[in-house]
Chain A
Amino acid sequence: MESPSPSTRDLARRLLAASLIVSDHDVQGAVLVSDRLRVSLIRFAGVDGFISLQQRALVLARVEVPSLQLVKMGVDGSLQGFEEVPADSLADAGVAITANLLELMVTFIGEPLMRMLIREAWPKTSVDQLQ
C-alpha cells in the first residue's frame, strides 16, 4: 500500500480546514471530516463498508503518526480519543488519517466517485474550491 499522494494529502488538508471553519474548534477536524464522510460512505457502502475502510485508514495513519495509537474506533466507525493525542502532532494526525481514508476510497471506488461522495458530504462547498 502506497502512502497517500500529495494531491490527496492536499485535499485532506482542505477538508480539515473547511470543517474547522464551520465548527467548534474544540472538536478535532479529523473527527468532523470522518463524521461527514461516514454519513455519505455508509449510505453508499453500508456501515461495515465504512468501518472497514476507516479501520484500515487508521492503521496506515499510525505508521506515519505513532501517537494515533491513542485514537480508537467506536462500533459505528467514529473516531474517539483525539483529546489524548499530543497537541504538537494533532495537525499531522488529522491529515494522516483523512488522507489515508481518501486514498483508500480512490483505490476502491475511484476518484470520480470519491469526489461525488465528498460533494454529498460538503454540499455547500465546491470540491474544486476544496482542491
Chain B
Amino acid sequence: MTINGKTESEVPGKDGVFIRQLPTGVPGLDEILGGGLPEYSFNILAGAPGCGKTTLAHQIMFANATPERPALYFTVLGEPAIKMLRYQQQYSFFDSAQLDGAIRFINLSQVVLDQDLGAVLDSIVKEVEASQPGVVVVDSFRTVVRKAQSSNANEVELQGFVQRLALHLTSWQATTFLIGEYVEGELRDNPVFTVADGLLWLYQSIERNSIVRKLQVMKIRGQESVPGLHTFRITEHGLHTFPRTFGLTDNNSEHVKGRSRLSTGVRELDTLMGGGIPEGDSLLVAGPSGGGKTVLGIQYIAEGLSRGEPCIVAMFEERPNEYMQRAASFGFDLDKNLKDGSLKLIYLRPLDLSVDETVHEIVSAVKEIGCERLVIDSLVGFEMALAPDFRTDFRESLYRMIGALTRLGVTILSTVEVEENFTSMGLSNFTISFLADDIVRLRYASINGQLQKVMMVVKMRRSKHSIDMCAYEVTSKGLQIGEPMRGYRALTSGIPGPWSLESTQTPLEVPSSSKPPKPKTPRKRKASS
C-alpha cells in the first residue's frame, strides 16, 4: 500500500490513520490531487453543464469498481440514464464487462420528485447497505438540493441531510462523488461544500474558435494537491489532465547544468560561445525571417544525432515532411534516425493547445527516447498554436516549460523570430530572454547596398563568450560564419557606418567597395565574462 509513492511506514504521522488513495483513472489527475483520491472521502465534482463532470465520475467509477466493492451510480433528474449511457459508452474506459456486477445504475428521480430529503436518504442508504459499494456517485446532486429548496426545506434541514448522507456513506466505507452544476459564487456558505472533503471544479470557456477546459482542486482534506488551474482535454479516452507540474513532482533530477558542452554543429559558433552550449542550458536563437534559425536548429540536431544523442524537434510552423526535406537540402539525411527512433518530430498546430498540454507531449517524448537535444521551432509558431486564453500567460508558461525540460537534462535550442527594425536590437517580441541561459542573435545589417547577415552571442550564463559580431551566410551546407566584422560602428543598429567617420557624415555606403563586406584583418577575439 502506498501513498504519494511512499510506503505506509514512510508516510509522516505513521502512527495515525493511514489514508489509502484511489486512482482516478484520469491521466495526470492523481498527480494534481497529490497522489489520488482519499479513500472514503466525500467529494463534489462541480462546474457548468458540459464541462465533463459526468465523464469524470464515470472514469473514476470504472477505475475503481470491482464485483466485491461495486460502484453505485444514482441518477437524479439530470441527464436521463439511457441517454447518458449511450454517450458514455463511446469512451474507451467504458468497460461493458464491469456492468456485470461491478457497476450499477439506479434512478432516484421519482423519489426526489414525489418525496422529501428523508426518503432520498433512505433510498440511498438502502441501496448502499445492500451492495456495500466502494464508490457512490449521485448525479446530479444539485437537483436534489433544488428540489429540497423548492419544497421549503430550510438550510439547517439541508445541512442535516448532507451531513447524514456523508456520515452514512463514509461509515459504509464508500468514496462518494456528488455531481452538481454550481457557479463559483455559490461556494460561500453552501452546506454541501462545507461538509465535502474534496472539491474539484471544472471550467470551460470558449475563446474565439477554441474551447479551453481547466480544472482546479479547490479543497482536498488530508493531502497536498497541486494548486492552481490545470488544463484538460476530453478525448475518446475521456478526460486527460495536464498538471502544471508536468508530471515531474517526484523528479529528483541529478542533472547538473554545464558539466559538458554540446556542439551546435557549427564549429565557429561553438568557438564564439566559448566551447558550445553548456549541457542542460536553454539557448535562444533570435533573428529575423530568413536569418537561418531553422537551419541552425537542423545543424544542432544533426550534430547530436551523429554523436548518438537522441533528439526531438517540436515544430509549430513547418510540417515534419517539409522539415525533413529542408534538412536533406542542407545535406542532412535524418530518415534513418527517424526510423530507428533516435529522432522524434513533434508537430503541433491545432490552434487550441495549452502550453501544459504541449509540454506534456514533449516531456513524454523526452522520457520515451531519453532525449538529450530539443529544438523548439519556433516560439512564435508555438504561441500561435495556443488557444487565445493561453497566450495571455505565455511568458509564465514558457518559464515553467523551460524549467521542466532543462530539469530533465535536455539541452534546448529555441528559435524566435524578431521583427527587425533599424533603430534598436530587440531579442524577442515576448520579453522572454530572461528564460534563456544563452542567447544568440542573428540580424541583418545594411552594408554597401546589401543585406549582410550578422551573428553575435549576446549572453552565456555562467561562462565567457566572444563579443565579436561576425558576418555569416546560409549556404547549401548550413551556416558558414566568417570573420568578426571590424571597422564599423553601430552594427547592432543594422545601419552601420565606418568606425572612423565623423558623426555628421552619412553612415551609408562605407567602406567603399562593390564586394560583400570583407572583414578587416582579424584581431584577437575579445571575451566578456
A interface list, Cβ under 8 A from B = 42-49, 53, 107-113, 115-116
Chain A residues closer than 8 Å to B99, beta-carbon distance = 112-113, 116
Q: Are A108 and B83 in contact (CB under 8 A)?
A: yes
7 additional contacts, CB 8 Å, given A46-B109, A108-B83?
A: A42-B107, A43-B107, A44-B107, A45-B107, A46-B107, A49-B107, A113-B85
| Chain A residue contacts of B100, Cβ below 8 A | 112, 115-116
Q: Find A108's partner among B85, B109, B110 (CB 8 Å cutoff).
A: B85
B54 at the interface (CB under 8 A from A): no
Least distance between B79 CB and chain A CB atoms (Å): 11
Q: Is the CB of B110 within 8 A of A109?
A: no
Q: How many Å lie between the Cα of A109 and that of B73 in the bound state?
A: 15
Main secondary structure of the interface of B (DSSP, over half): helix
A113 to B99, CA, bound (A): 6
Instruction: Please list the 6 inter-chain residue pairs (A to B) with the smallest Cβ-Cβ separation, ordered nearest first.
Output: A112-B96, A46-B107, A46-B109, A108-B82, A45-B81, A109-B85
Contacts of B80 in A (CB 8 A): 45-46, 48-49
B119 at the interface (CB under 8 A from A): no
The one of B75, B82, B107 that contacts A109, using a Cβ cutoff of 8 Å: B82
Residue of A nearest to B127 (CB): A43
Interface string of B89-112 (1 = CB under 8 A from A): 100000011011000011101100
For the complex formed, measure the closest distance between the CB of A112 and the CB atoms of chain B, giving whole angstroms.
4
- Among A46, A111, A113, the one with the most B-chain Cβ atoms within 10 Å of its Cβ is A46
Q: Does B89 lie within 8 Å of A53, measured CB to CB?
A: no
A-B contact pairs, 11 of them (CB 8 A): A42-B110, A43-B106, A44-B106, A47-B109, A47-B110, A49-B82, A108-B83, A108-B85, A108-B86, A109-B81, A110-B85
Chain B hits for A109, CB < 8 A: 81-82, 85-86, 89
Instruction: Tell me which residues across on chain A come within 8 A of B110, comparing CB atoms.
Output: 42, 46-47
Bound Cα distance from A43 to B86, whole angstroms? 17
Chain A residue nearest in CB terms to B106: A43
* Contact indicator B82/A110 (Cβ below 8 Å): no
CB-nearest residue of chain B to A116: B99
Q: Look across to chain B and name the residue whose beta carbon is closest to the beta carbon of A111.
A: B96
A90 to B96, CA, bound (A): 35
A53 to chain B, nearest CB (A): 7
Residues of chain B within 8 A of A111, CB atoms compared: 96
Q: Which residues of B contact A48 (CB under 8 A)?
A: 80, 109
Q: Please name the residue on chain A nearest to B112 by beta carbon.
A: A46
* A100 vs B129: C-alpha distance when bound (angstroms): 35
- Bound-state CA distance A131–B522 (Å) is 92
A112: chain B residues at CB < 8 Å are 96-97, 99-100
Which residues does chain A contribute within 8 Å of B89, judged by CB atoms?
109-110
> What is the CA–CA distance of A48 and B86 in the complex, to the nearest angstrom?
17
